[in-house]
Amino acid sequence: MVEGYNRSLTIFSPDGHLFQVDYAQEAVKKGSNVIGIKGKDCVVLGVEKKSVSALQDDRVLRKIFSINEDVILSYAGLSADARVLINYVRQEVESYRLSCDEKPSVTNVARMIADIKQDYTITGGRRPFGVSMIIAGFDFNGCPSIFKTEPMGTFFEYKAVAIGRSDKAVMEYLEANYNEESTKDEASVLKLAVKALTLVVQSGADIELSVVRMDKPPECVHRSVPVEEISEMVKKIQDEKEQELKQD
């Protein structure tokens, strides 16, 4: 009996499971780690970069994407599924702008993604997207927001969130260290993001960071943090840890 439900895309098992959704969540759990942190005047996305062949062009392996001037996103899970969703939401965002003569809020962007994910859990002949996403940016009122969407089509707002294979360890760190002092400005949020990611990576070359901050309201600035700057932050954090150990 279980095997039949296992093969079906849209039929619940007797204990209330959609097995294909469960499998999609497993794909997320095997993905690279991604974090999103909301600061007082900025939002930061950080990603664990996978090692690549020396012959590959790493520019095409970026995992943080710009949706418009105000919103960026990243993902954990199947890259091909993420690409389809990113292309879809970019088209929806542009359609919204042309129809309503304004940019959609971060909430609306998260809902667009969640809606199509949910549709793929109830439509025959399709399978759920094996990807979770973190969407970050600023609304037209100047407030920063961060959302996470899941394969089943749910979405939630967070102050800080992690997805990927080590999400529990990273979330525990963020819960213990997220406070007003650690998020007071862009530099503080970047430092918190790097500290969280160094739990699962070895060097600055393994980290990708992007920041969106409000420049001149309502205009936002999106900045990809250079590898050299990330490596310098990692070195400072390691030096601080060594000093703490010496003092102990």
* pLDDT in 10s for each residue of the chain, 248 residues: 455 556 566 677 777 778 888 899 999 999 999 999 999 999 999 999 877 667 777 666 789 999 998 999 999 999 999 999 999 999 999 999 999 999 999 999 999 999 999 999 888 788 999 999 999 999 888 899 999 999 999 999 999 999 999 999 999 999 999 999 999 999 999 999 999 999 998 777 789 999 999 887 778 899 999 999 999 999 999 888 888 877 76
Whether 185 is in a domain gets the answer yes
Q: Pick from 200, 199, 197: which is nearest to 208 by CA?
A: 197
Q: Pick from 104, 116, 44: which is nearest to 74 by CA?
A: 44
Whether 98 is in a domain gets the answer yes
Whether 22 is in a domain gets the answer no
Domain containing residue 184: 35-50+59-247
Q: Which amino acid is at 88?
A: Y
Which domain CATH number covers 147?
3.60.20.10
Whether 111 is in a domain gets the answer yes
Whether 192 is in a domain gets the answer yes
Other CB atoms within a 10 A radius of the CB of residue 107 amount to: 14
What is the total count of domains within the chain?
1
Whether 183 is in a domain gets the answer yes
Whether 27 is in a domain gets the answer no
In DSSP terms, 162 is beta-bridged to 35
- Whole-angstrom CA distances from 42 to 39, 99, 129, 144, 188 are 5, 28, 29, 6, 10
Going by the DSSP 8-state scheme, the letter that residue 182 receives in this structure is G
Length reported for the chain: 248
What lies within 8 Å, CB to CB, of 72 at 6+ separation is 43, 45, 64, 65, 66, 135, 136, 137, 210, 212, 222
Whether 26 is in a domain gets the answer no
